[in-house]
Structure 1
Amino acid sequence: MIPHLSRSAWTVLGGDALSAIGSGLTLPFFVVYLHRVRGLDVEVAALALATVAVVGLAGNLIGGSLADRFGARDALMFGLVLNAAGTGAMTLVHAPWQAFAAAATLGLGASIAWPAQDALLATVSTPDQRSSVFSVRHMTLNAGFGIGALVAALIVDVDSPGTFVALYLLDAATFLAFIPILMTVKAGNRPQLSHETSTPGLSAGYRRILTDWTFVRIWLLTALLVAAGFSQMHAMFPVFALGPGGIGEDALSVAFAANTFTVVAAQLFVLRWMQGRRRTTGMVLTCGFWGAAWGMTLLAGMIGGGPLAVATLVGALVVFAIGETVLTPTLLPMVNDLVPDALRGRYNGVYTLAWTTGFMLGPAVAGVALGAGHATAFLLGLIGGLALAAGAAWRVSAHVPPGANRIGASEPAAAPSPDPVQVTTTTAGEVV
């Protein structure tokens, strides 16, 4: 059941899980901390949170370029330092400008670290292991966030600012603790960049990515899935559940806990079941699971409260979690199987922009629709959008080589495999 991964992959995953616990300590309380503890207007606190995503638009591309130029491991460490600095700066916030500065630093660090870590995990894994390594990462992230949130619930007190300061300092410490762990990972030889891929700015390297039509199709599909799926779990679902769904905050917390627990419990079982299957099939199945989850959410609104509505909404996030576990071994591993080593960081940076775009567009549209009282129509629109995404995933399969569209063959659990051989390619394409 335990995937057969390299020691370096397990090392990166272990450090990532540690930092996820730290993030779980603070993420649920960002707006609450700035508003109720530091006394900022709720609008200012919300804009500070939005700043994290806006900065990510530039940070994703910077992180991808840094990974190609200096190596994914070093780019990740740089992102972690910025993450720690921004998180630590949150303890010093007493004015709006300080909140925006801390949020911008935090957002820049996170957006640099994200594509760099994806590139690093792809580099320290063989193609057959990539679906497994990203599945394990999704599982450990959810476990880390859940553990952190539980610990924070035991510590935090809105009447005691010191408890929040302690949480943010602990969060910053976990980012810094990840760095010495990364230093034990062999960086390997960085692929040499040709002149056209190392040109500054919107270089030939980025132009090549934008004209890679298979990648562009996957990018658009990802943005649609994030906008109609992941982002709505945090934007639409809580508002609908507490409003038309007729449930209380305690029941909503149970629903989100059920989602996290399902991901942690089911991810490796789903990964094993998907071995040898096409990745595009997994994408289509995810659209089906998520469409069913939003259909159950709509049904709960028709019920309008009571134990049955609670059970339906909890079940909706459980079904959504199954869709998550099916999607994880598909999109990101497929991208990394298709990209050239010399541009792996930039490809991951541009790909991460699809997630950033989806997380920006999804909540914005949800806010307008729900604010105008069109919740039912919006949910039906989400289901229709997921049906469109399923068709797009099916069509993408015609443009993806069979090797990149297949989840690696099942391997027996064993001791960690040796690290994949790192190769350096010259500008002439020779392997050194």
Structure 2
Amino acid sequence: MDVPADQIGPGVRGFWAALPREGRFLLSTVALQRLGRGMTLPFTVIYLHEVRGFSLELSGTLMGLMAIIAACYGPFAGALVDRVGARLVVMSGSVLASLGAVALALASTLPMALLACLLLGLAHGTGWAGSNSLIATIVAGPMRQRYFGVNFALLNLGIGVGGILAGAIVDVERPATFEALFLLDAVLVLIPVMWLLGPLRHVHGRAEPSESAEPASYRAILRRPGFGWILAVSALTSTVGYGQMEAGVPAFARSISLVSTEAVGLLFAANTAVIVLLQFVVLHRIEGHRRTRVMMVLLAVWAVSWGLLGLSGLVPGTLAATLLVVAYGAVFGLGETMLHPSIPAMVNDSAPDHMRGRMNAASSTSFLVGAVLGPVIAGQLLGKGLAEIFIGCMLLGLLASAWLLLRIERIVSPEVNGVTGARPSSSSGTTAG
């Protein structure tokens, strides 16, 4: 559904009124289905290391293994989206995520931890290829960028509330507190299956066949102008961003800054509060501006956040360390409000309908490359006490990302770069077929 920008009312109410019925269903439970993820996300490395007794290096490697599996499976998931539709791929990912959360709750041995990594890796591999393709079949035009931003804010609301609750509940001396959270996550991640088997069973997310369309292949999508550079900047920003939020940041906060698990929970709470409170404000300010320029601003913001985290390591175990760690989460969240409306919209505004699954899968895989490298880098550097080098690597990655964005801006079309008045590719596939 393509709604012109001048027909979308202001604020949350205007956005909700312009959404099609299918979009409202999908958004209505995003926060709830991510609540369990928020309870486990900040504490998975802590759980593996301090509860199950794996070394910090091994714990970081296990987190990276999930991303490796997801990156390997992602291209197959993307091809499945283009062939059978996003609906079936999203449902399969939810089931795999549920089984993986159960396995992680029982991961007292390395083989069980490896099984959990396999299941969760496969689930993560379906993520963007399925869900972003499903979203893109429902909304188009200016609504698409707004939808990605709002979806991200709600996702983080669930994660942040979950982080607050988990920070007050978990106790490294009581493994059952961690196990209960993983089991709750296993239930909540099945919510999309409920919608897609019920009121949204007609939203298959599959393009109609066309004899004139270029054959779908990964070679074809890599030939699209600037897409390879978009994948590169996605991988690099993931390495210095989200790849660290699950592993590097909690590990730094606990082992270098010496803050409590409650402080780690507050870090994620502050991160979420900024995203939820400012996402609509940021969406309004960035609409019509070049997405590459918006992302340059976010890199500067992230540089400040890494500086704050680095300073916390200079005053370990103090109130100042706690405040700096929490401030890191807040400032990092401001940058996130600019990232998630930008990259997914660039990918989907440049994607032909019959190759949308592959293009979202390629974007997901590039993101997961960073999720592979991030925990491994953090585990190796922080495990050896090289905190200063760790922070330096993050800042260097931001500088390299800025150079990539300059390359992208010279190549991609104004439509893909979010210039006001340009019309992105149309969406299809919201009816049963």
Could you report, residue by residue, the CA deviation over 1:324-358 in whole angstroms, capped at 9, with x for unpaired residues?
11112111101110011101001111110111111
CA contact (8 A) 1:80 1:113 kept: no
Q: How does 1:122-201 map to 2 (within 5 A)?
A: 122-153=136-167, 156=170, 164-183=178-197, 184-185=199-200, 186-187=202-203, 190-192=206-208
1:364 pairs with 2:401: no
**Gaps (5+ residues) in structure 1?**
410-419, 425-432
1:380 pairs with 2:392: yes
Which residue of 1 is the match for residue 78 of structure 2? Answer: 64
One-letter amino acid of the structure 2 residue matched with residue 77 of structure 1: M
CA contact (8 A) 2:134 2:205 kept: no
Q: 1:24 to 1:317 in 2, by over 3 A?
A: closer
Q: How does 1:275-424 map to 2 (within 5 A)?
A: 275-302=287-314, 306-371=318-383, 373-406=385-418, 422=428
Partner SS for 2:288? coil
Distance across 1 between alignment mates of 2:127 and 2:383: 35
**Gaps (5+ residues) in structure 2?**
1-10
Which residue of 2 is the match for residue 83 of structure 1? Answer: 97
Distance across 2 between alignment mates of 1:304 and 1:91: 31
Distance across 1 between alignment mates of 2:259 and 2:181: 29
Q: 1:166 to 1:361 in 2, by over 3 A?
A: closer
Could you report, residue by residue, the CA deviation over 1:184-243 in whole angstroms, capped at 9, with x for unpaired residues?
2232573245799999xxxx6111123335110100011111112332344444444455
Percent identity, please: 34
CA contact (8 A) 1:142 1:260 kept: yes
Q: 1:137 to 1:304 in 2, by over 3 A?
A: same
One-letter amino acid of the structure 2 residue matched with residue 62 of structure 1: F
Q: 1:253 to 1:24 in 2, by over 3 A?
A: closer
Q: How does 1:42-61 map to 2 (within 5 A)?
A: 42=55, 48-61=62-75
Of the candidates 263, 271, 280, which is equivalent to residue 275 of structure 2?
263
Distance across 1 between alignment mates of 2:250 and 2:92: 35
Distance across 1 between alignment mates of 2:205 and 2:311: 54
Which residue of 2 is the match for residue 274 of structure 1? Answer: 286
CA contact (8 A) 1:197 1:205 kept: no
TM-score, structure 2 as length reference:
0.82
Partner SS for 1:403? coil
Partner SS for 1:314? helix
Distance across 2 between alignment mates of 1:137 and 1:12: 9
CA RMSD for the aligned pairs?
3.3
Partner SS for 2:139? coil
Of the candidates 94, 104, 110, which is equivalent to residue 96 of structure 1?
110
Q: 1:216 to 1:102 in 2, by over 3 A?
A: same
CA contact (8 A) 2:97 2:123 kept: yes
Deviation at 1:321, TM superposition (A): 1.2
Of the candidates 109, 115, 136, which is equivalent to residue 129 of structure 2?
115
Q: 1:129 to 1:79 in 2, by over 3 A?
A: same
Q: 1:391 to 1:355 in 2, by over 3 A?
A: same
One-letter amino acid of the structure 2 residue matched with residue 97 of structure 1: P
Which residue of 1 is the match for residue 6 of structure 2? Answer: none
Partner SS for 2:189? helix
Distance across 2 between alignment mates of 1:145 and 1:372: 30
Flag the structure with larger Rg: 1
Distance across 2 between alignment mates of 1:32 and 1:329: 31
One-letter amino acid of the structure 2 residue matched with residue 107 of structure 1: G
One-letter amino acid of the structure 2 residue matched with residue 351 of structure 1: S
**Across the two proteins, how many residue pairs are aligned to each other?**
410
Distance across 1 between alignment mates of 2:166 and 2:408: 42
One-letter amino acid of the structure 2 residue matched with residue 17 of structure 1: A
Deviation at 1:303, TM superposition (A): 5.7
Could you report, residue by residue, the CA deviation over 1:371-429 in whole angstroms, capped at 9, with x for unpaired residues?
555433443343233123223213311212112212668xxxxxxxxxx87369xxxxx
Distance across 1 between alignment mates of 2:385 and 2:165: 37
One-letter amino acid of the structure 1 residue matched with residue 115 of structure 2: A
Q: How does 1:196-275 map to 2 (within 5 A)?
A: 205-242=217-254, 245=257, 247-275=259-287
One-letter amino acid of the structure 2 residue matched with residue 221 of structure 1: V
Deviation at 1:293, TM superposition (A): 1.6
Deviates more, 1:206-215 or 1:90-99: 90-99
